Amino acid sequence: MGSEMDKTHLFKWTDKSVVEEIEDFQDLFDVLLVDNSEFQKSVCASETMLKRHKSRLEEMEDAIARCEENSIECIRELRIIKALFVCCFAMVFMYLTYA
């Protein structure tokens, strides 16, 4: 059987072995807590950024909708101007033809 003084031998008292395992586990647990905390901060930052991007996307969609409405209105006005131009041209042509 080994002795406590002989560190190369595989003999340890059970209570010391358990304490060492718990200490090793505690160190690992502390590292995981720090990593988890950093991960949660990263997730929160990502969620904030995602909300900001969604808000900007909604603003852009609203701007596109307004542009589409303005384009439709411009097309209507151009059709009216075209009709007025054709009428004026026809009147000038009739005046020049029959005058």
Does residue 83 fall inside a structural domain?
yes
Does residue 18 fall inside a structural domain?
yes
Q: Which residues contact 11 (CB under 8 A, 6 or more apart)?
A: 1, 2, 3, 4
Does residue 3 fall inside a structural domain?
no
pLDDT digits (tens, 9 = 90+) for 10-62: 555 667 777 788 888 888 888 888 888 888 999 999 999 999 999 999 999 99
Does residue 64 fall inside a structural domain?
yes
Does residue 38 fall inside a structural domain?
yes
Which pTM was predicted? 0.52
Which one-letter amino acid corresponds to residue 32?
L
pLDDT band at 5 (very low <50, low <70, confident <90, very high): low
Does residue 5 fall inside a structural domain?
no
Match 């609203």 to its residue by tokens: 62
Does residue 7 fall inside a structural domain?
no
What tokens does 74 get?
């411009």
**Total tally of structural domains belonging to the chain:** 1
pLDDT over threshold 80, residue 76: yes
What pLDDT, on the 0 to 100 scale, is given for residue 95? Answer: 93
